[in-house]
Structure 1
Amino acid sequence: MTNQYISLYNQLGYHFQDEALLELALSHRSVGGKNNERLEFLGDSILNYVIGEDLYHRFSDAQEGQLSRLRARMVKGATLAELGREFGLSEYMKMGSGELKSGGYRRDSILADAVEAIIGAIHLENHGDMAACKRVILNWYQSRLEKLSVKDTLKDPKTRLQEFLQSRQQPLPQYEVVNVKGQAHQQTFFVECRVESLEEVAYGKGTSRRIAEQVAAGEALILLGVDTREEKQ
């Protein structure tokens, strides 16, 4: 083990015996032929499996849609980039001069890909032993997983209304701002939401058009008899 990676190993909670694998995981495609794209592909699959399995056991009463949204939050690029910054990956990334000049080592997508590639490298170094990857990944994600709640998977009213109508092959709702009151810095928006299958028009108001539309969509859901108190998917 060379001294250059000691700090990184401590951050990762994992020590590579084959440093060539780590160096490959840290090599952006801009360096040429030998880069981390294949390791990234492998790591992405492993990460989705490990997080999915943990969520399955952690939230035994959650439905498939809720679990999918929780997993998506955990494995999305922004979350992976956060991990990359926590590990200090920017100091170790290998990339072409063009990427270096453009600040690629700070780019979310590059850091996220590198985290996935490291997972793939760990998997290969342990000859496909999933237990090793699982231990490392869950250690990285422990605090984030502990903060998760199924309640956070509730969709906003506009999304729920749209999906409700689409599932019944009905036209999408139509929103219209019918009035705006107040000064420019303190306005109140009044919005109508029209649904073809409803005789009544749903109304909403809020301090922005977006908020007013959400309120109107919630009213439309109530008029349609949809339970707005809990997630149904």
Structure 2
Amino acid sequence: MSDLETWSDEDLGHRFRQPGLLEEALTHRSLGSPNYERLEFLGDRVLGYAIAAHLYRAFPNEAEGQLTRRFHQLVSRQTCAAIARRLGVPAVVRMNGQARADGGADSDNILGDVIEAIIGAILIDAGEEAAMRFIERAWADRLGDIPHVGKHPKSAVQEWALARGLGAPSYELVGRSGPHHAPRFRVRLDVGGHPPIETTGASKQDAETEAARQFLDRIAHGA
């Protein structure tokens, strides 16, 4: 398995049947064509639909103006870029040396476009349900507990640990099981001198989030 396939499995939570789609989604126009622009066009519309449908269901009593304000925040360039950074996109985006030297790998505009292109690529590769699942996972910390959006569990654990001088939490991938089309990832969370927590998930991100949730539950109950 290539490094790119491993990253897709572990961080995106999706194994591409057509790996060329992922490569295209990660390719900046500085390398010519094909690049991510057509997939970004598609993914932008899919993301908009997914977020609008989620807000419509989650806020049945809100007026159109309120829903629109929430929508624009969730699909903004800054939000998309932040999600791309959390998933490790800057390390795998493909561009020429000049574009990279100009800061392209950390540009909000480019990272936002790439994350939308990835959505488009997943839609073509595996259909609407797979694309929707990816959006739900990737935007989970932004959607939070409706109607009051809380911190993502990993952010909450980090803030708790740093406030107590314990250093940053450590997440380690300790195992992988299951068939290629439905892998399971096992992650270990260490926070200071506290007993470690091991959890599994359909992606590395899912497993890390579940470990953080379990840690928060433990400290909430004084364990």
* TM-score normalised per structure 1: 0.60
For residues 33-52 of structure 1, the aligned pairs below 5 Å read: 33-52=33-52
Equivalent residue for 2:220?
none
* Counterpart residue type for residue 136 of structure 1: F
Q: How many residues align?
A: 149
State how far apart, in whole Å, the 2-side matches of 1:105 and 1:9 are: 21
* 1:142 to partner: Cα distance: 1.6
Indicate conservation of the 8 Å contact 2:104/2:110, yes or no.
yes
Equivalent residue for 2:73?
73
State how far apart, in whole Å, the 1-side matches of 2:75 and 2:7 are: 24
Equivalent residue for 1:194?
none
Structure 2 residue 143 is the aligned partner of structure 1 residue 145: yes
Indicate conservation of the 8 Å contact 1:8/1:87, yes or no.
no
Indicate conservation of the 8 Å contact 2:31/2:96, yes or no.
yes
Greater RCO, CA 8 A, separation 6+: 2
* 1:83 to partner: Cα distance: 0.6
* 1:71 to partner: Cα distance: 0.8
How far does the alpha carbon of each residue in 1:62-93 deviate from its partner, in whole angstroms, 9 at most, with x for none? 11111111111000000000011001111111
For residues 125-164 of structure 1, the aligned pairs below 5 Å read: 125-126=125-126, 129-146=127-144, 149=147
State how far apart, in whole Å, the 2-side matches of 1:142 and 1:55 are: 13
Structure 2 residue 97 is the aligned partner of structure 1 residue 97: yes
State how far apart, in whole Å, the 1-side matches of 2:146 and 2:72 are: 12
Structure 2 residue 56 is the aligned partner of structure 1 residue 56: yes
State how far apart, in whole Å, the 1-side matches of 2:141 and 2:111 are: 20
SS in 2 for 1:94: coil
* 1:14 to partner: Cα distance: 1.4
* 1:97 to partner: Cα distance: 2.1
* Counterpart residue type for residue 124 of structure 2: L
Equivalent residue for 1:179?
none
* 1:44 to partner: Cα distance: 0.1
- Between structure 1 and structure 2, the one with the greater Rg is 1
Structure 2 residue 24 is the aligned partner of structure 1 residue 24: yes
* Counterpart residue type for residue 106 of structure 2: R
Query: Where does the alignment leave 5 or more consecutive residues of structure 2 unmatched?
Result: 150-223
Deviating beyond 2 angstroms after TM superposition, the runs of 4 or more aligned structure 1 residues are: 1-5, 147-151
For residues 76-225 of structure 1, the aligned pairs below 5 Å read: 76-126=76-126, 129-146=127-144, 149=147
* TM-score normalised per structure 2: 0.63
How far does the alpha carbon of each residue in 1:164-216 deviate from its partner, in whole angstroms, 9 at most, with x for none? xxxxxxxxxxxxxxxxxxxxxxxxxxxxxxxxxxxxxxxxxxxxxxxxxxxxx
Q: Percent of aligned pairs with the same residue? A: 38
State how far apart, in whole Å, the 2-side matches of 1:4 and 1:40 are: 19
The RMSD of aligned alpha carbons is 1.7
